[in-house]
Amino acid sequence: MADAPHAVARRALMAEIAAEVRATAGWTGRQTLKPAVTAALMRVPRHAFVPGKFRTTAYENHPLPIGHGQTISQPYIVAIMTELLDLAPTRRVLEIGTGSGYQAAVLAELAGEVYTIESIPALADMARRHLVALGYANIHVLVGDGSFGWAARAPYDRIIVTAAAPHIPTALIDQLVLEGRMVLPLGPEGGEQYLTLVTKSVRGRVAEQRLLPVAFVPLLGSVRH
């Protein structure tokens, strides 16, 4: 899906992401991205998921506004969260916070099926348009409160949350398979937030590993109350 006008900027961004992955390895435990993750990031055109006025900066390593008080995440954050999920073509993934659809597209390059929930209808519609235009048939978009997950399609091998919650929504833990993984930012709005890896053992025991200080927009929905 890469196109020539953005090829140089995309390669420069990937070099910057690789350097940041190395620099944060003490927190995340990941020295490099898997080749499949790097390839997915190279294939997905980030400029197609941002408003037109920001397309000239689409391959800079920072978040960008997408309207409705929301942002498309910093490319490094998309990369490291995807890396931490340890995806495979057989995995079923739930994403909370579709936004403009960029993270879902990256996930869809690596997983079998992606189910993604967005609480803002206009953003969900935008994401659907982007994803259909790019030919993604394995992404399913729902408008709703991500705090409750998507029970009708559960369980999920992997869950990713792209907005900060004060605690892990119980519904998401329930919808995660045994030996599953979840990556999400935890912490209050405007306060200290950490990217967190959640694992569920074969016996159903849930463990949390705090990894990296981050700053995300808040997760909208019942989890805030």
Residues identified as active-site: 73
Start-end of H helices in 88-204: 102-108, 121-133, 170-175
Cα separation, 52 vs 68, whole angstroms: 16
CB 44 within 8 A of CB 102: yes
In whole angstroms, how far apart are CA 206 and each of 111, 159, 188?
Answer: 23, 14, 21
b/e 179-201 (16+ beta carbons within 10 angstroms → b): ebbbbbbbbeeeeebbbbbbebe
